[in-house]
Amino acid sequence: MLKKLNITLIVIALFFLTSLSAEEFAPVGTAVAQFMEIGLGARATGMGEAFTALANDAGAVFWNPAGLADAGKRSLFSAYNTWPAGISIGGLSMAMNLGNLGTIAVSSVYLMTDDMEITTIGRPEGTGEYFNISNYSLGLTYARYLTDKVSVGLTTKLVHEGYWDYSYSTWAIDMGTMYRTGFHGLNIAMSILHFGPEINFSGDYVDYSDPKSYDAQPDPLPKTFEKYSLPVNFRFGISFDVLKTNMHRLTTAMDMIHPNNNLEQYNMGLEYGLKDMLFLRGGYKFSADEGGLCLGGGTSLSLTGDLKIIADYSFADMGALKSIHRFSLGIDF
């Protein structure tokens, strides 16, 4: 079975690699639910989001649901990001390991903004009315080991996006697999995130770029929204322990991402651990328009009994968009 699985992994990886140069045009702006593409978790983002093969706690649901199989007996994960333009995004996941039955988790991602004043062509200074953004997803994940080295995971989730009177709700799924070779910490993993049907926003609008819409007589002629896809991401990742002793560990990781709304992306990261208690991290997103270099650190503290607390921080310089700070907290109990 493992031989067949290895062959399957190699074939998929080769197909992915040969497709990297197949598309030169970046189809930016062709997918909705962009909030689901913002990286959650300071450990992952501190390594430049090269994390598909390293996800191993309740936060794995945001990167590769197969990694959830390594979560502790009970695990809680929360993450918070500041984003440009006064946007805040966070995530929460709660996992429970059921032994031979597998691991289950519930999760949520949310995006919030301050109220924004409505402006029009006739009243560019504002109408006195305000609107806000209401974006979130709710997920249920199941993961388990198929063998002592291979795990799989599946997430089903509800996705909602709303702007003023325009919104939609739909479903999506995430799927992942992870193969732990046992050779110097070498992991090979893949995941497909945010796969779901095309959607269109409710309501209609006046298209001010089309005279037939805004200049129609006697009243403007509204249009209905076109259909858009969710931001489907195919991720292939590997990780490897360059150094591992009782005192020191140095892990390197690489992710290759094929999104349906952009060109291929390449991420690399490093993590140094001192006694698996203190961590320093760095990474680079080679294809990022802004924020290629990422840095971070964290600590893992084992307290009484099975209680362990993991706190992480990461930083990215987003250039024209200024700095991004991310925080995450994990609790095993």
pLDDT at 323: 85
Task: Report pLDDT digits (tens) over 123-162.
Answer: 888 888 888 888 999 999 999 999 999 999 999 999 999 9
Instruction: Report the percent of the chain where pLDDT is more than 90.
Output: 66
Checking if the pLDDT of 15 tops 50, the result is: no
**pLDDT score for 5:** 46
Residue 310: burial class (beta carbons within 10 Å; 0-12, 13-18, 19+): buried
For 88-124, what is each residue's pLDDT tens digit? Answer: 999 999 999 999 999 999 999 999 888 888 887 778 8
Q: Which domains does the chain have, with CATH numbers?
A: 2-325 (2.40.160.60)
* Cβ atoms < 10 Å from Cβ of 275: 11
- Asked if residue 201 has pLDDT above 60, the reply is yes
Residue 284's beta-bridge partner residues?
268, 293
**Across 264-278, average pLDDT:** 96
Q: Which residue has the tokens 């990781």?
A: 253
Q: What is the pLDDT of residue 25?
A: 65
Q: For residue 46, give both structure tokens.
A: 């501190």
Q: Using 50, 70 and 90 to split pLDDT, how confident is the model at 175?
A: very high
Cα gap 327→316, rounded to integer Å: 12
Count of CB atoms situated within 10 Å of the CB of 121? 8
The answer on pLDDT for 24 being more than 70 is no
Give the Å distances, CA to CA, from 35 to 89, 137, 156, 211, 322.
8, 10, 17, 32, 18
What stretch of H or E contains 5? Answer: helix 2-18
Q: What was the pLDDT predicted at 168?
A: 95
b/e sequence 226-262, b meaning 16+ C-beta within 10 Å: eebbbbbbbbbbbbbbeeeeeeebebbbbbbbbbebb
Overall average pLDDT of the 265-293 stretch: 91
What's the start-to-end Cα distance of the chain, in Å? 35
pLDDT digits (tens, 9 = 90+) for 70-79: 998 999 999 9
pLDDT digits over 211-266, tens only? Answer: 888 787 788 888 888 999 999 999 999 999 999 999 999 999 999 999 998 889 99
